[in-house]
């Protein structure tokens, strides 16, 4: 539960988690497409980078959350994770 006194003291921004931009692709799909074929479960566009935005307390938490959604054992590769600068307009 959010403590109203903490919110007043620290401001609303103190409780926002950083946002990360992540690039993900599927290694198996990329290989199949390069060989002229198709993956039996995933569409060909997984051969290219997909840009995903995720909020997390830190980079490790972002990586863990993405690993659950895009498991390496299914060929997914988390290529990069970059913390986004917070906007004054959000």
Query: Are the C-beta atoms of 52 and 69 separated by less than 8 Å?
Result: no
Tell me what pLDDT residue 17 has: 86
Cross-strand pairs, 82: 21
Beta strands in 1-90 (DSSP E): 19-26, 50-55, 76-83
Tell me what pLDDT residue 16 has: 78
Tell me what pLDDT residue 3 has: 45
| Residue 62: other Cβ atoms inside 10 A | 24
Per-domain boundaries in the chain: 18-83
Tell me what pLDDT residue 1 has: 46
Chain mean pLDDT for the chain = 85
| Residue 76: other Cβ atoms inside 10 A | 21
The proportion of the chain whose per-residue pLDDT surpasses 90, expressed as a percent, equals 73
Tell me what pLDDT residue 89 has: 57
Cross-strand pairs, 22: 52, 81
- 18-83 in CATH: which number? 3.30.1280
């Amino acid at each position: 539960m959010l403590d109203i006194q903490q919110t007043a003291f620290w401001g609303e921004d103190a409780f926002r988690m950083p946002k990360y931009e992540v690039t993900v692709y599927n290694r198996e799909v990329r290989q199949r497409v390069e060989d002229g074929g198709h993956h039996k479960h995933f569409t060909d566009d997984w051969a290219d980078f997909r840009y995903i935005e995720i909020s997390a307390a830190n980079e490790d938490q972002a990586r863990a959350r993405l690993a659950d959604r895009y498991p390496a054992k299914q060929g997914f590769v988390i290529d990069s994770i970059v913390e986004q600068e917070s906007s004054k307009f959000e």
